[in-house]
Structure 1
């Protein structure tokens, strides 16, 4: 996008276009005064932000916790090479504000699950657009929008596929209504960040590391800024200009190279990520990092302890145990040595092949170490091979189309179209360069379905409003759930497993139960977050405690809500 071309953008022309398009002058006022929350400023988010501003929206709030990496630059057009390492939301705001000075964009560099965003925060927006690539975060946004009774536009893209889904919980099918498969045909990887959330992210990171060390490094590789660790570069460091080696033996060169790689990517980088855990709600496990003495012992022993034949037998066994972290470090070093020798013989870049025993073992070991650091359950080499063959890239063209559709749907909604009369949009891959017939389209509209009867988000929401500093857990249970809702609660717990009420605990652990009963909601810090409530009849509810100073205790059941 050319900055000069848009440096004097005139919003009056934009509003004239909107008024002409929707044959209504009211749409202009809606656009001018509607506050929009955009969560996620990645591939789709950049496109959405640009479209919102150039559609005339003035008040936009951005929420994103990520920083810009080199791999973002080929598809997230708001970012430049000089922005690498900076916060996405901050850079996006600065660049858009430069293009459109009349826009009023605010930024939050926070986890969307943070208590910095209470329910009242969401209620101020005319609509929420979710452009996240994290399943758990999307579930959370879906739920909090249901409690806040705010329209949600859910977006996503995977390769050539994408979707836009307008959601009004209780009136339309929500993100929670349709169970998401645990394992899809493809695994979409938009960014390899410092905070992986699944074993697939760890495996993809390990494959990228393979290319950094031994393969042909591309700019789209998230680790491309670590090119000084390419084996070809390291080999030059250990060689004089006349070709003589700085080290006395080939084995010494291998050991020094392995030690440097492991120290960088599996010790120093993990320690750095550990230092960042204060920026996110999810914490790292205790790092199982070897000492330098252990590392040197691994370097000396792995050649006699492991063989290619043994690793090949393991990869063919679907029931093999997941490697321990210690074994993963040993196999990692063994594979590094084998790959170094292979590279030295060929003197050319190596290509990752999931059917090659050493390549697969390297990725399995590297992903196991990384998964352990983030408290993620790792996979054995049999499973890793299946996952590694299903990686597909994110595409900027898909993001652009999805960004266009979601803003158009938002404009239709603000112009007076009911959410139920909008449509889901599915973007599908077309194998030919262009449609063969006029009626062949790549964007498929779908009627919005009603809520699923079993969906707890659409049918079983309890909004609790109280002065969290004064209301105790016992008052919440007795005066709220039992008296106001005629319930017999069995248990109440947070999503992280903290039990604030258990009817059986009153008898089994009376001292602890009394301590919690007498504690206020604020003292337990369970306000402004979802709660799971189970009553004696076996019915599950989802609750949310909203702090409000002037309300003693009030609980309301949230039913279907319509368009304003």
Structure 2
């Protein structure tokens, strides 16, 4: 209440008239809502789709043990009203992507405050605020780091002004399937197995041994390949999809275990060249496991399970997940969620069993959850500091002092001026931003005879350009409709190639997203083959498609996308799954606050600014987004 007392009459009047939309009620959101009602904000709406998990309780202080399983938005509202019963708070247990929250909804607010934990939702709110011309205060934390960015249409950079690198990095498929050497390789394999058994099958995530391993040259893999051609002579198993095998067994845990960890390992051992300079894996049998006889199941997340315990957890989880899958109907599927206990225990047990087979150290459930969800530990004080800064920047905006607003960075260590909180001047809008410029355009390199309409829709427009429900018209004078957001209208186009519609070099595609009130012109640049076999490459404008040689090495505007974004040196990379959202696939889940915040990628301009703010270079500086 001290801050409220310090405010002048004009500022208090502005607070009383201000209508705030707060998106997210996780780590930052709980602190922010408490700050808002204590500062004197009395008209607040809150949106969050998530429910409270027990792991939230150590830092999301509006929640208690009895609230586990309940709506974050509803409980946050109830708890905040105890600080200020006079406040009017409306809670929505819903997705920010819902059509209910359209342009007219956003126009009803004075200011929007983001307390989100994923890029897809941030992109969407950014675009809605631009369309409604409402100021936005963006924020984020990761461990001890944090930042707050005020955004105003036509005055500052929008959230998407700076290009962001692809969120997901992956490992070579042959490493994951054949020769894992790090715990993270086993975790990735375990998550792939979950999808193969219970989720959406993806051929690129097949967990079977990879006979196309680049090491299997000349006669190196001949025995394995011959065995595959005849069926598996060693294990007596026909080489078929993991899902088909599981269905045939009735999801029998013992049979699945022996196929994955005994027979498939025997098959790998037949690829003798792989093991000339590596420790060969060892086969396991369901009825003869290390630690047999230990019937107790460790349940603490900090425990490292024995192999026998892993097998027991595996059996229990397969049985439960089979039931969950059956409850989804004939064509149903499960979506992996690190906060679903059975899904998480499945990945923990599978990853550790595979690690044991390949001589890799086993990890606790907590450690595997951190890797599987790409988690950075959340720090309660970081959230509290950032929430306080959000309110201070909000008060400047309401006072009409946008020129006084700053991007504020919370650093891990003090800079040369002994400051942890470092303010930086707001940057103006990027002239060629494909979101907030007056005529948004971008160019996409691709091979029109290999890219389908469905790829354009799902991977380029929704996946990379962050549209929700795009409509696409070819600017050919005829108004040919390529994609319609109306269900079924252009379904027959999906598997056709762009070239089938005479889309070629320099074709302009007018893309509209009515939900976001956003229009973008996509200019097609025909390329027979892209570097690294990428399916497409998005660049800011036509002039960037063929940069001069001296600029090519430093250009950050082009971002490649491919089903297999790999290098030969990927072993040191972290898998950035963005499972809080699954970036675009799970766009309806916007604020679990990761239970622990996911790290996001560093943008060169932001890094440069932070280095300047800190008074020097820092190798571990990352952008919080």
Q: What aligned pairs does 1:201-350 form with structure 2 within 5 A after superposition?
A: 290-291=246-247, 293-296=249-252, 297-299=255-257, 301-302=259-260, 304-307=262-265, 310=268, 341-342=290-291
Q: How far 1:183 moved relative to its partner?
A: 5.2
| 1:79-478 superposed matches below 5 A | 79-182=63-166, 290-291=246-247, 293-296=249-252, 297-299=255-257, 301-302=259-260, 304-307=262-265, 310=268, 341-342=290-291, 373-374=334-335, 391-418=375-402, 420-430=403-413, 439-460=417-438
Q: Tell me, what secondary structure is at the counterpart of 1:459?
A: coil
Q: Which has the higher contact order (CA 8 A, sep 6+)?
A: 2
1:48-76 Cα offsets, whole Å, 9 max, x none, are 10000100000000000000000100010
Structure 2: gaps (5+ residues): 170-183, 201-241, 276-280, 326-332, 338-346, 356-366, 441-464, 491-511, 526-539, 542-625
| Cα offsets for 1:19-74 (capped at 9, x unmatched) | 2xxxxx21010011101110000000001100001000000000000000001000
Structure 1: which 5+ residue stretches go unaligned? 1-10, 20-24, 186-199, 208-261, 272-286, 318-330, 463-492, 518-524, 541-564
Alignment root-mean-square deviation, CA: 5.3
TM-score by length of 1: 0.53
Q: TM-score normalised to the size of structure 2?
A: 0.48
Runs of 4 or more off by more than 6 Å in structure 1?
204-207, 311-314, 345-353, 507-510, 535-540
CA distance in 2, matches of 1:85, 1:304: 39
Give the C-alpha shift of residue 149 in structure 1. Answer: 0.4
Q: State the 1:108 CA deviation.
A: 1.2
Supply the distance in 2 between the matched residues of 1:153 and 1:408 (Cα, whole angstroms): 11
Contact 2:20 2:43 (8 Å CA) reproduced? yes
Structure 2: how far apart are the matches of 1:76 and 1:171? 34
Q: Does the C-alpha gap of structure 1 residues 55 and 203 become closer, same or farther in structure 2, counting only changes over 3 Å? A: farther
Q: Which whole-Å deviations, capped at 9, do the CAs of 1:89-136 have from their partners, x for residues lacking one?
A: 000111111231100001111111111012111112111001110101
Residues 341 and 159 of structure 1, relative CA distance in 2, 3 Å threshold: same
Give the Cα–Cα distance (whole angstroms) in 2 for the partners of residues 306 and 352 of structure 1. 28
Q: CA contact under 8 A between 1:494 and 1:531: conserved in structure 2?
A: no
Query: For structure 1, which segment, 72-81 or 89-98, has the greater mean C-alpha deviation from structure 2 after superposition?
Result: 89-98
Larger helix proportion of the pair? 1
1:534 aligns with 2:521: yes
Query: Are the aligned partners of 2:52 and 2:67 in contact in 1 as well (CA < 8 Å)?
Result: yes
Shift of the 38–311 alpha-carbon distance from structure 1 to 2, 3 Å rule, reads farther
- Once the two structures are TM-superposed, the CA of residue 413 in structure 1 deviates from its matched residue by 1.9
**How far apart are the structure 2 equivalents of 1:338 and 1:62?**
53
**Counterpart of 1:501?**
473
Task: Output the CA distance in 1 between the equivalents of 2:57 and 2:189.
Answer: 18
Q: Deviations over 1:363-383 (max 9, x none)?
A: 9x99xx99x84499x9x999x
Change (3 A) 1:165 1:148: same
